[in-house]
Amino acid sequence: MLQVSNLDVYYGESHILRQVDLSVPQGQMVCLIGRNGVGKTTLLKTIIGLLQPRSGQIIFDGEIINSKSPDQRAKLGIGYVPQGREIIPRLTVKENLLLGLEARKKTVKKTEIPEEIFTLFPVLKKMLSRLGGDLSGGQQQQLAIARALMGNPRLLLLDEPTEGIQPSIILEIEAAIGKIVETTGISVLLVEQHLHFVRQAHYYYAMQKGGIVASGPTSELSQEIINRFLAV
Ligand SMILES: Nc1ncnc2c1ncn2[C@@H]1O[C@H](COP(=O)(O)OP(=O)(O)OP(=O)(O)O)[C@@H](O)[C@H]1O
Ligand SMILES: [Mg+2]
């Protein structure tokens, strides 16, 4: 589904990502772990096209997408939930959700939200007319994920969806993502720090100083890897 190979990314002259290789197979959930500042967000931004790699390839569905804009990548089926959520505070929950439709290949005229969204995130149904900015952090995160789903993605990039969120909501978000992967065939690339959530993925990659330094099935996550790469 997604293959990243030999990716090198710079911010100006600082070399951030080094020879990154990573793949996300169809229908699987892959987790990227690593301490603060190692380059996890930089990798997701490069995959969605907000940053251009200096070298390396990004292949989605067998096609090299390096030269495509973020908007084109969204229409190809890559959904992105940035770190810090970035919902629009002055729009209502419903308006925020409908914005997600812009990522679809064909513009659909829709004013209703599909019921499946509320099955995944029941709390949103009660809050459709509330302003996005008035939701709690956990609710905003659910809204951000729901908005990405409105675009019908085949691959979902999630950047630390549980950062700064209270434990009970973390479990709800975990369960929703698990259900999405199980029931829809959507592939997920997740950046995450919570071990419980990381274990829900099929496969992990660990990043250090912009390079992938360990990877494997999450069933084989050792205590040593956990201590080195997760802030638990
Ligand atoms: N716009 C920018 N300009 C210059 N350097 C940047 C920029 N954004 C990030 N960096 C640097 O790139 C490196 C990687 O940052 P990145 O945000 O990808 O890390 P991260 O692994 O996502 O960290 P965190 O866990 O804190 O979210 C850091 O050293 C950071 O300071
Ligand atoms: Mg980050």
Residue 232's pLDDT is what? Answer: 56
DSSP bridge pairs for 78? 155
Q: Which residues surround ligand 2, an ion (CB under 5 A)?
A: 40-41, 83
Is ligand 1 within 6 A of the CB of residue 42?
yes
Is ligand 1 within 6 A of the CB of residue 38?
yes
Q: Do the bridges between strand 187-191 and strand 29-33 make them parallel or antiparallel, or are there none, so unpaired? A: parallel
Is ligand 1 within 6 A of the CB of residue 36?
yes
Cα–ligand 2 centroid distance for 114 (angstroms)? 30
| 200-97-112 Cα angle (round to 5) | 115
Extract the tokens encoding 3: 């293959």
Most informative mutation of 18, 20, 41 for ligand 1 (most atoms within 8 A of CB):
41
Residue 231's pLDDT is what? Answer: 72
Residue 94's pLDDT is what? Answer: 96
Residue 207 burial by Cβ neighbours in a 10 Å radius (0-12, 13-18, 19+): buried
CA dihedral 205, 211, 225, 228 (to 10 degrees): -140
Domain segments of the chain: what residues?
Answer: 27-41+69-229
Handedness of CA 44, 17, 32, 56 (dihedral sign): positive
Residue 131's pLDDT is what? Answer: 97
Atom 30, ligand 1: residue with shortest CA distance? 37
Residue 230's pLDDT is what? Answer: 86
Q: In this structure, how many other beta carbons lie within 10 angstroms of the beta carbon of residue 84? A: 15
Atom 25, ligand 1: residue with shortest CA distance? 36
Instruction: Count helices and strands (H / E) in the chain.
Output: 9, 10
CATH class of 27-41+69-229: alpha beta
Atom 31, ligand 1: residue with shortest CA distance? 37
Split the chain (232 residues) into runs of 10 and give each run's mean pLDDT: 98 96 97 96 98 97 96 96 92 95 78 90 95 94 96 96 92 94 95 94 97 96 89 64
Is ligand 1 within 6 A of the CB of residue 122?
no
Nearest residue to 184 via CA among 98, 117, 96: 117
Residue 105's pLDDT is what? Answer: 78
